[in-house]
Amino acid sequence: MFPRAREIDEKTRSIPEDIIKEMVELGIFGVTIPEEYGGSASPGEEMVYAMLAVHEIARGELSMSLPVYTLLNLGWSYLVVRHGSEELKKELLPNGAAGKWFIGISTTEAGGGSDLANIKTTAKKSGNEYVINGEKTYISGVIEATKRGGGHLTLLRTAPELGTKGMTFAYVPARTPGVSYTTFHDMGRMGLSTGGFTFKDARIPAEYVLGEENRGFYINMEGFNVARTLVASACLGGAEKCLELGADYVQRRVLFGRPLAKFEGISFEIAEDLTELEMVKNLLLKGAWMIDQHYKDGSFANKEINRTIAMCKLRAPLLAVDIVKHAMMYHGALGYSKESPLEMCMRGLMSYVVGAEGGANIMKIIIARELMGEAAIPYR
């Protein structure tokens, strides 16, 4: 798989169709989509299966492009299953499960991604349609959704005077007239585009709204728990593979008459990294299971899930970067070279350290808020 990851990172700069085709045959894109909409979901176990699938893909594709492409599709199509209208489900989900369309998320605006309550993009009701004006930025999959089909679940202001109680979450196909995109040149995840969307009087039908009008902020937040579970899983999968590469190398590299693995400065670090990795993996498995239980019988409240998933999204990217850095160091100069896949993984993981799906400090705010309530909310 490493040659394919390098190909994605440097040559195709997109996910090759043969890989998507094989993933469709394995049913990967349908893991969170019920059979009646063309998927392969195991009812009540969707998140656990999605988490495992993303973990394995991340172990195999260390540029992180394919894991992120996959997790966005699985996570946000799952939200459509939960909150979409019947019309939207019938239109979107079979195309998602068949790997034809891309389904992503579009919330961030130039005013600050962490401060979502401050978004400016508006949607005004006009008959049975909404008319959208504004701009989004740093959105993953702008090219994929435009070229392949599909679009993004988009956070919009429908009643500006009501703050977060005046926002609506709706599917906006990338090919809608009035929607255009720009692109950024990222440092990693080269097989998946990021960029901005501009909306100029772009019209979508009311059936594209998820849940109710003006409930969008809360539905979006619910979706972040799903997406963050899969983000954490991608980080841990990549880290696990890099840890294995490091452990394998130190057994073979002989210095001062002994394999590097004999030096406790190295073997103990690997032991500590593996211990932490396993702990976060287990917490994440619990979080994924809690989400499944929440949707099955309501046995866990959003509040409990928020806290668990924020802990995983806080820890997984930072731990993963540490583990990859350690593996790079064991490889010496080779670790700094493109002969090794480690550098690709480091570049991809950094997207989740700098903030994609919520920065580390935002995760800390969520954890503190769910423990201490209003007293720990800095902006109220």
Ligand X SMILES: Cc1cc2nc3c(=O)[nH]c(=O)nc-3n(C[C@H](O)[C@H](O)[C@H](O)COP(=O)(O)OP(=O)(O)OC[C@H]3O[C@@H](n4cnc5c(N)ncnc54)[C@H](O)[C@@H]3O)c2cc1C
Q: Provide the binding-site residues for ligand X, judged by CB under 6 A.
A: 104-108, 112-114, 138-140, 186, 194, 351, 354-362, 378
Which amino acid belongs to residue 148? R
CB of 213 vs ligand X, minimal distance in Å: 20
CA 125, distance to chain mean position in Å, is 30
Identify which of residues 112 and 332 has a Cβ nearer to ligand X in the complex: 112
CB of 369 vs ligand X, minimal distance in Å: 11
**Residue 107 to residue 111: CA distance in whole angstroms:** 11
CB of 248 vs ligand X, minimal distance in Å: 29
CB of 72 vs ligand X, minimal distance in Å: 7
Task: Kindly provide the b/e burial profile for residues 109-131, where b requires at least 16 CB atoms within 10 angstroms of the residue's own CB.
Answer: beeebeebeebebbbeeeeebbb
Identify which of residues 144 and 269 has a Cβ nearer to ligand X in the complex: 144
CB of 142 vs ligand X, minimal distance in Å: 9
Identify which of residues 180 and 293 has a Cβ nearer to ligand X in the complex: 180
Identify which of residues 245 and 356 has a Cβ nearer to ligand X in the complex: 356
Identify which of residues 138 and 169 has a Cβ nearer to ligand X in the complex: 138
The answer to whether the CB of 27 falls within 8 A of the CB of 35 is no
CB of 275 vs ligand X, minimal distance in Å: 27
User: Shortest CA distance to 107 belongs to which of 210, 177, 186?
Assistant: 210
Q: What are the backbone angles phi and psi of residue 51, rounded to the nearest 5°?
A: -60, -45
Identify which of residues 138 and 208 has a Cβ nearer to ligand X in the complex: 138
Identify which of residues 274 and 360 has a Cβ nearer to ligand X in the complex: 360
**Residue 188 to residue 66: CA distance in whole angstroms:** 12
Q: Which residue has the tokens 């809360």?
A: 218
Which amino acid belongs to residue 11? K
**Residue 232 to residue 156: CA distance in whole angstroms:** 26
DSSP letters for 203-218: EEEGGGB-SSTTBHHH
CB of 191 vs ligand X, minimal distance in Å: 12
Identify which of residues 48 and 312 has a Cβ nearer to ligand X in the complex: 312
DSSP letters for 270-335: HHHHHHHHHHHHHHHHHHHHHHHHHHHH--S-HHHHHHHHHHHHHHHHHHHHHHHHHHHHHTGGGG
